[in-house]
Amino acid sequence: MRLDRITLKGLRARGRHGVLAAERELGQEFVVDATLFVDTAPAAAGDDLAKTVHYGELAQDLVKVVEGEPVDLIETLAQRLADVCLAHELVSRVEISVHKPAAPIPLPFDDVIVTIERSRA
């Protein structure tokens, strides 16, 4: 089966993830990129939203996770986001990148990014 990609890039939300007390107390912006691997041919053939992933609703679900229960590691956050994507039965595989551009690193840097790829079991 051919798989197409639906990508949601640069989704921003404020979360309280991290191991430091200040990260939990103050929170910071996280940026999420999600690439869903989906067969979009049925949706395109019938111009039918019900046969694909509604990326607007997905964005809201992902933001709820980022704004929700804090975790120590962005690896854990990435896994939770992947689980949300894979809950959509049409998604065969997902790649999630979580950016933490304000990570508490005492050196000049542009971004910290954890990227994971998960498939439907």
Ramachandran quadrant class, 85 (left: phi over 0; alpha: psi -120 to 50; beta: rest): alpha
Q: For the chain, how many structural domains are there in total?
A: 1
| pLDDT tens-digit series, residues 8-45 | 999 999 999 999 999 999 999 999 999 999 999 999 99
Identify the three-state secondary structure at position 22.
helix
Query: Which of 112, 114, 107, 117 shows the shortest CA–CA distance to 28?
Result: 112
What end-to-end distance do the CA atoms of the chain give, in Å?
16
Whole-number percent of the chain with pLDDT over 90: 97
Residue 6 DSSP label: E
Domain span at 55: 4-119
Average pLDDT (75-103) is 97
pTM of the model: 0.95
Supply the pLDDT for residue 12: 98
Residue of 9, 51, 64, 100 with catalytic role: 100
Catalytic site residue 9? no
For the record, the structure tokens of 97 come out as 């990148």
